[in-house]
Amino acid sequence: MTDLPQQTRDDAAAVLHSALAGDGDAVVGTFDAVVDRSGVAGAYGVAWCLAATMVGDDVPAGTAALDFPGIDQANYDTRWVARFLSAYANRDPETGEALFGAAIADGLLPDCLLTLAGSAVATLYGPKRPPAGQ
């Protein structure tokens, strides 16, 4: 994750801050601003950065499944996030890009990114909130 541009990391931090505050409109607004500035590739970079934040870099590549029991019963955005995180864990950006493209084609990318941001907050902070100012 350290090879991502500082702007991408700053945008991911802004997404996390908004998600932590429960401001879904601001999460989507941040992604929209990234798309305006850097295109869909920029939004993908922010999403990949969020995945890196959640998964970390110490997972052996190729060990995460893209399909799990019961996944087809989950909502589209939940399935998308699980598969996107698996793609990151497997160091498979091509699958991540394919998932991104599919969500765009299906008109559901904003929902997927919002769920990804919420998942990141839940992963990082669980049921407790960080101290004020963080």
Q: Cα separation of 94 and 33, whole Å?
A: 24
Q: Is residue 134 part of a domain?
A: no
Q: Is residue 40 part of a domain?
A: yes
Q: Is residue 1 part of a domain?
A: no
Q: What is the mean pLDDT of residues 85-92?
A: 91
When comparing pLDDT for 79 and 4, which is higher?
Answer: 79
Structural domain of residue 110, as residue ranges? 6-125
Instruction: Work out the pLDDT band at 133, boundaries 50, 70, 90.
Output: low
Q: Is residue 116 part of a domain?
A: yes
Q: CB 65: neighbour CB atoms within 10 A?
A: 12
Q: 51 pLDDT exceeds 90?
A: yes
Q: Is residue 131 part of a domain?
A: no
Instruction: Work out the pLDDT band at 127, boundaries 50, 70, 90.
Output: low
Q: CB 77: neighbour CB atoms within 10 A?
A: 20
Q: Is residue 96 part of a domain?
A: yes
Q: Is residue 50 part of a domain?
A: yes
Q: Is residue 132 part of a domain?
A: no
Number of domains comprising the chain: 1
